[in-house]
Amino acid sequence: MILWKSILTKKTTLLLLILMPIILLISISLFQQTADDFRVSVQVVDPYEQSEFNELMERVDEPEPFSVQVNNELDLQSLARGDVEAIFVVENNFEKKVQNGNIDELFTWYRYDHSIVDGLFKEYIAATLMETVVRHEAARYVTDELEQVSRQEVFDFGLRYFEPDPLFQMNFQSYGHGSQVDERHEVKHGPILLFIWAYIWLLIIYFTSFIDQYRETQLLNRLSVYTFGKVKLYRSWLTLMLVLISVLLSGVGLISSQMNIQLETNALMSLFFLCIISVLLLLIFNLLLKNRKTFLALTIMYWIVSIVMFMLVDWQIVDEAWWGYFLIPVWLS
Amino acid sequence: MLQLNNIIYKNKNKMILNGISAEVKQGDSICLFGPNGAGKSTLLKMLAGLIEPDQGVYKQDKLTSKPVGYIPQQLALFPNMTVKDHLSFYKKMTKQKDREFIEAMSNALSLNEIKKKKVEELSGGMARKLNLAVGLIHEPDIIFLDEAFVGVDLAAKHDMLQWLRLLNEDGVTIVLITHDWHVIHHLAKTLWVLEDGRMVDQFSIENLPQKAEEYKLVDSPLNKMFAVQN
Ligand SMILES: Nc1ncnc2c1ncn2[C@@H]1O[C@H](COP(=O)(O)OP(=O)(O)O)[C@@H](O)[C@H]1O
Ligand SMILES: [Mg+2]
């Protein structure tokens, strides 16, 4: 439709659309910074550089919210400085001990007075370790009974029985993602969702200027002599808004997942619906008010009040009042 | 084909059309004439069916179900789109299948040479020609033109008048607003004089000389030009 082409090839539009990914990146990196603040650093030290232990650590990976460094030297100073919350040092002969199921005091666990959640990481290593030990145990048992199979075959075979993960590890997961962590996630989501909404609101205000233009130049009058002429114009404007918002929010989803940030799909979906409501609201304002200045005054006022109100609610300075729900972003907090 | 009976139209309590009665017959070519703010554009919109009267009766009795042709005073175009974009958009919008008609019109208005140009690159006259063409693409039975010749150079005006006359001779009804004597002389058969929302006079073009005297238009330089041509 001519409307899409004419809007999308306009320089101002192009500029705003180029600004879009930049805004996205800025907002997401803001989000990432806050996310990093919640990371808990732990150090794992293997003075003997054992390959089987490395394999284990690869399987442990980096469970949220931990950031794991694997070192060869024990540096207790980093613990004292508060750089890391805990240090785990593995004993020598890791492979043999694990194969024999002899895992008592396999690790030395250094922690500091202020260390709080490092225990979770201990659980995580323990879970992975237990899986390995149980598989070795099984392998040993089976090869004792059946001589024609090799220990490695049975060990690898054992993997099948650990999909899905062992029960106690699942317990750990639900503990780790329990209420504590979830609350923090919401606090982190709020500002970025607000940021995106605020940007989209202004973007739509810009796009309503085209409708004003169509009204002023009598294009709407011209089209209204045709059956559904005006409706078709509004429809393609609305579809354009819908497509742009979808693209924008999918971009947010995509980039955040690329950067390993978990923006919940639910949060994005509700943001999407709130943006659609915003579009409809702005269109209705535009149709009712007709006067550009009144329209701008009202919608920008709404924008500012919404943002302030959102922050007050988010920082728990004021309680959510019933009238707060007239402000779209308050629904996000 | 159009009838107005004692029409009253207000905007926020301001009387814009005040008791207008008139009739438009098929094949007519009517010029609405009068000072600025007289209500000409409003009356034209009402005739075109774009607005409804607050009081009075508006009756429409068209030959076909085709939409009317309405050419607004402003350049109601997409500035960054080409002439071709516009023609194909309105062709689709009005489901016009008759390529020959569009071709003939494009030739008559010499739009073919500027097909690839964007509206914002067009001269005033060319843009006016496009503004006219897109409103006529579906071959309407009745055409409403609101100051369609403002800022149009002589060559473009000639093209436009030629084409509109041809249509009128084919039975297309034309209602137009203009202050341009040249246009009135070449196109109008009847004049309606409006003032303050009232229909002051209606007369045929042959009576223009006497009427011009009556309305003290004789000394206006425009009228002199008109008188010479007459
Ligand atoms: N949308 C509008 N709102 C308020 N007043 C209007 C509007 N459109 C026209 N008018 C008023 O109606 C009167 C007639 O306007 P118009 O029909 O445009 O006159 P003309 O075309 O003869 O110059 C003017 O006094 C104008 O101020
Ligand atoms: Mg006017």
How does DSSP assign A156-199, residue by residue? HHHGGGGSS--HHHHHHHHHHTSHHHHHHHHHHHHHHHHHHHHH
ipTM, 2 dp: 0.88
Q: What is the pLDDT of residue B181?
A: 85
Of the pLDDT bands very low, low, confident and very high (cuts 50, 70, 90), residue A35 is: low
Alpha-carbon gap, residue B63 to A324, rounded angstroms: 57
Q: Kindly provide the b/e burial profile for residues A131-163, where b requires at least 16 CB atoms within 10 angstroms of the residue's own CB.
A: bbbebbbebeebbeeeeeeeeeebbeebeeeee
Kindly list the distances between the CA atom of residue A259 and the CA atoms of A37, A40, A180, A251, B219, in Å, as whole numbers in the listed order: 15, 18, 23, 12, 80
Residue B93 touches chain A, beta carbons under 8 Å: yes
Mark yes or no for CB contact A225/B75 under 8 Å: no
Q: B104 or A319: whose pLDDT is higher?
A: B104
Q: Which two tokens stand for residue A289?
A: 């008010």
Residue B121 touches chain A, beta carbons under 8 Å: no
Residue spans per domain, chain A = 1-34+185-331, 40-161
Q: What is the pLDDT of residue A177?
A: 35
Q: What is the pLDDT of residue A179?
A: 37
Identify the helix (H) or strand (E) that includes residue B82: none
Ligand 1, atom 2, residue with closest C-alpha? B11
How many Å from the N-terminal Cα to the C-terminal Cα in chain B? 30
Q: Looking up tokens 């075979």, which residue turns up?
A: A157
Q: A230 or A267: whose pLDDT is higher?
A: A230
Q: Which two tokens stand for residue A245?
A: 């918002």
Q: Which two tokens stand for residue A26?
A: 């800025």
Kindly report, residue by residue over A40-85, the tens digit of the pLDDT: 788 888 888 888 888 888 877 777 667 888 888 888 888 887 778 8
Ligand nearest the Cα atom of residue B33: 1
Residue B229 has pLDDT above 60, yes or no: no
Closest of A89, A84, A85 to residue A46, by C-alpha: A89
Alpha-carbon gap, residue A127 to A262, rounded angstroms: 24
Ion ligand 2 residue ranges (Cβ < 5 Å): B 41
Give the mean pLDDT of B105-123.
94
Ligand 1, atom 25, residue with closest C-alpha? B37
- Asked whether B38 lines ligand 1 (CB < 6 A), one says yes
Q: B230 or B152: whose pLDDT is higher?
A: B152
Q: What is the pLDDT of residue A34?
A: 60
Closest of B118, B119, B124, B184 to residue B151, by C-alpha: B124
Kindly list the distances between the CA atom of residue A297 and the CA atoms of A285, A302, A304, A328, in Å, as whole numbers in the listed order: 11, 9, 11, 17
Residue B23 has pLDDT above 80, yes or no: yes
Residue B68 touches chain A, beta carbons under 8 Å: yes
Residue B120 has pLDDT above 90, yes or no: yes
CB-based contacts of A133-141 (< 8 A; 24+ apart in sequence): A133/A98, A133/A101, A133/A103, A134/A158, A134/A162, A134/A166, A135/A159, A135/A161, A135/A162, A136/A98, A136/A99, A136/A100, A136/A101, A137/A101, A140/A99, A140/A101
Residue A173 has pLDDT above 80, yes or no: no
- Asked whether B72 lines ligand 1 (CB < 6 A), one says no
CB-nearest to A217 from B49, B70, B75 is B75
The single-letter DSSP state of residue B74 is S
Overall pTM > 0.80: no
Ligand nearest the Cα atom of residue B74: 2
Q: Which two tokens stand for residue A220?
A: 């709407």
Distance in Å, alpha carbon of B49 to nearest chain A alpha carbon: 8
Distance in Å, alpha carbon of B197 to nearest chain A alpha carbon: 21
Q: What is the pLDDT of residue B218?
A: 53
Q: What is the pLDDT of residue A311?
A: 84
Give the mean pLDDT of B39-58.
95
Alpha-carbon gap, residue A291 to A314, rounded angstroms: 34
Q: How far is CA B62 from the centre of its chain?
A: 18
Residue B224 has pLDDT above 90, yes or no: no
Q: Which amino acid is at A132?
A: T
Kindly report the backbone phi and psi dihedral angles of residue A181, in degrees, each rounded to the nearest multiple of 5, phi listed first.
-70, -40
What is the CB neighbour count within 10 angstroms for residue B89?
A: 19
Kindly report, residue by residue over A249-276, the tens digit of the pLDDT: 888 888 777 776 667 778 888 899 999 9
Q: Kindly provide the b/e burial profile for residues B91-100, where b requires at least 16 CB atoms within 10 angstroms of the residue's own CB.
A: bebbebeeee
The CATH number of A40-161 is 3.40.190
Kindly report the backbone phi and psi dihedral angles of residue A90, in degrees, each rounded to the nearest multiple of 5, phi listed first.
-95, 145
Mark yes or no for CB contact A221/B68 under 8 Å: no
Pick the CATH number of B1-68+142-149+175-229 from 3.40.50.10090, 3.40.50.450, 3.40.50.300, 3.40.50.2000: 3.40.50.300
Residue A280 has pLDDT above 70, yes or no: yes
